[in-house]
Homo-oligomer: A and B are copies of this chain.
Amino acid sequence: MQNRMELSFSAISSNESFARVTVAAFIAQIDPTMEEITEIKTVVSEAVTNSIIHGYHNQSEGKVYITASIENECLELIIRDEGMGITDLEEARQPLYTTKPELERSGMGFTIMENFCDEMKVVSEPMLGTSIFLKKQLSTKKAIYN
């Protein structure tokens, strides 16, 4: 059976940990491992932070949209903004590439998301916004007790 949730919230940085916990609470239902939940929280943080600081330039107008669905222990996440978008996607996804070098962990957001998930797709349109599609297979308890 599929379970689904949709969330949107004001694009302010104090909502980052709210977004992270919301996704974590949603997948907590299938009781993943700590490692899996830590990875997912990191991925959500990276994507949401990108939307807030790059997509909306920290302007606090605008919203961030998250869709999560779980089916057969597979998590599908979409994190979307209606911000400024990315002109050169290939360049943006390079490790260490950043347009805001003053930030921590500069340029590693996309690399982290890609590494912690099984699939990542980025769709972006200048002036319209950016969507990140992520898939991650979670371990089941059954698999562990085998």
Q: A residues engaging B (CB < 8 A)? A: 1-10, 12, 14-15, 17-18, 21-22, 25-26, 28-29, 60
Contacts and interface: CB of A to CB of B under 8 A. Distances in A.
B9 A4 contact: yes
- Copies per assembly: 2
A13 to B, nearest CB: 11
Contact of A6 (B7, B14, B17): B7
State the main secondary structure of chain A at its contact with B.
mixed
A33 to B, nearest CB: 18
* CB-CB nearest 4 A-B residue pairs: A5-B9, A21-B25, A22-B22, A6-B8
Nearest to A4: B10
A9 to B, nearest CB: 4
Given A25-B17, A25-B25, A8 B10 contact: no
A113 to B, nearest CB: 22
Nearest to A5: B9
Contact of A7 (B5, B15, B28): B5
